[in-house]
Amino acid sequence: MSDATLHAHAMDPDSFAVQIADSIESFIVATTEVAKGDEPDSAVPFLLLEVSQLLLAGGRLGAHVDIVPDERYEPDAGPDDDVDELRMRFAVMLDPVDVFSEVFDPYEPRRAPVPCRISDNLADMVADLRHGLAHYKAGRTTEALWWWQFSYFSNWGPTASATLRALQSLVSHVRLDQPLAELDGLDTDEDLAEDALAEEAGRVMAAEILGPLGMRTVK
């Protein structure tokens, strides 16, 4: 059944919630496993796959009619889990390519790109998704769906989209045997304009990251 029919409430809400919750929990579990670093040779391709699959769930939430929570105020879901360890693990694992440039709103004219980190994005996405999952596991299904839909539009959706673009670009550079432009010295606490980003660009050969990140160039 197409998600377009959700606008007519044709799909059982409970079934929809189970599918979304399964997708989100699968992403959290898989991403947490990747962060352990047991299989660094497949980290980037695996993250590319996981973020792609998560965005499918996000697209379904985005196509759904607005979900209205049962209560006026959000029930207490308890303390959010700390994601700093997850963030640091990814920062170390992805160190050569962690920082990338992104335009937050493609419809805002002349918006300069800003530096972002894949590690920050992944940790922030997991934090958002875990918050909704806490509601879901407590039996507050509508609240969970509302949170996931709201935060898809406001935070984790744009963050996941930017992360997917960075991962896809990274894999493409390596598979197509194209050197990467290095943003050496660029950091996320800087507010650099487009010209400054261009000045930061250097040259890094893809061979430097093939082994640690588990990718191969085309023959």
> Residue 202 has which token pair?
């250097």
Average pLDDT, the chain: 79
What does the pLDDT look like over 13-51, one tens digit per residue?
569 999 999 999 999 999 999 999 888 778 999 999 999
* Per-residue pLDDT, 131: 95
What does the pLDDT look like over 62-112, one tens digit per residue?
999 999 887 777 767 666 678 999 999 999 999 888 998 887 777 877 777
Helix 141-151 / helix 43-63 crossing angle, nearest 10 deg: 110
User: Which of 47-61, 70-84, 195-209 has the weakest average pLDDT?
Assistant: 195-209
* Per-residue pLDDT, 66: 93
What does the pLDDT look like over 149-161, one tens digit per residue?
999 999 999 999 9
Specify the DSSP element, H or E, that contains 3: none
What does the pLDDT look like over 113-139, one tens digit per residue?
788 999 999 999 999 999 999 999 999
Spatial distance between the Cα atoms of 187 and 90, rounded to a whole number of angstroms: 16
b/e map 139-175, b = 16+ CB within 10 Å: ebbbbbbbbbbbbbeeebbbbbebbbebbeebbebbe
- Average pLDDT on 176-198 reads 52
